[in-house]
Amino acid sequence: MATICHGLCVDLGFSIEDRNKNVRRAGEVAKLFFLQGAIVLVALVSPMREALAKVRKTFFDDDFWEAYCECPSSICQQQNEQ
């Protein structure tokens, strides 16, 4: 996650608009790796279901799995700062 947050998405914060951009960017990168044959695991803070649904649509149903973990946003922000 640090690579995405501190590289590709370094210009983004924790607003809803920025979180949606982060999900889209991470989804695009995951898709590139997946198309090259890699198994890709991505952990994201995604408050808006629509952003994740857009990424899901770029994969075949059997190629996209979601696991939901509830975590306070303050903890997620702390992890991002490390």
Q: Which residues are catalytic?
A: 46
Q: How many CB atoms lie within 10 A of CB 1?
A: 14
And the tokens for 81? 């700062």
Q: Tell me the residue type at 52.
A: L
Q: How many CB atoms lie within 10 A of CB 12?
A: 17
